[in-house]
Amino acid sequence: AQTVTQSQPEMSVQEAETVTLSCTYDTSESDYYLFWYKQPPSRQMILVIRQEAYKQQNATENRFSVNFQKAAKSFSLKISDSQLGDAAMYFCAYRRGGGGADGLTFGKGTHLIIQP
């Protein structure tokens, strides 16, 4: 079974600074996807960024980027120029690749606090 581990229950960063959220995973599959979701106080889940395991290039979406280390099974999220609106729970998630539509396996989340 796949597992996803987020070792930081809570992180705090000053506005405009950079913060990195950690995620490790365990799988025997070679084809899979990794995701970071944001859950603000409204509790709506929002996809932040995704990474396909077969792609060596790290994904980037504006201020959000990942450091994907496949051999180490590590998938960290870097948020640059942190903004107050970035404050939320962040979840790392895994999905098996290939066809079909399996469910996601989530980590327990990291609560990100942005200090003004």
Q: Is 43 in the site for another protein (CB under 8 A)?
A: yes
Other Cβ atoms closer than 10 A to 44: 10
Q: Is 42 in the site for another protein (CB under 8 A)?
A: yes
Q: Is 103 in the site for another protein (CB under 8 A)?
A: yes
Q: Which of 19, 94, 107, 114 binds another protein (CB under 8 A)?
A: 107
Helix (H, G, I), strand (E, B) or coil at 53: coil
> Which of residues 108 and 115 has its CB atom nearest to another protein in the complex?
108
Q: Which of 29, 108, 113, 115 binds another protein (CB under 8 A)?
A: 108
69: CB partners within 8 A, 6+ apart: 75
The distance of closest approach from Cβ of residue 44 to another protein in the complex, given in angstroms and rounded to an integer, is: 6
Q: Is 101 in the site for another protein (CB under 8 A)?
A: yes
**Strands 74-79, 60-61: parallel, antiparallel or unpaired by DSSP?**
unpaired
- Report the candidate in 67, 63, 57, 53 with the shortest Cα–Cα distance to residue 21: 67
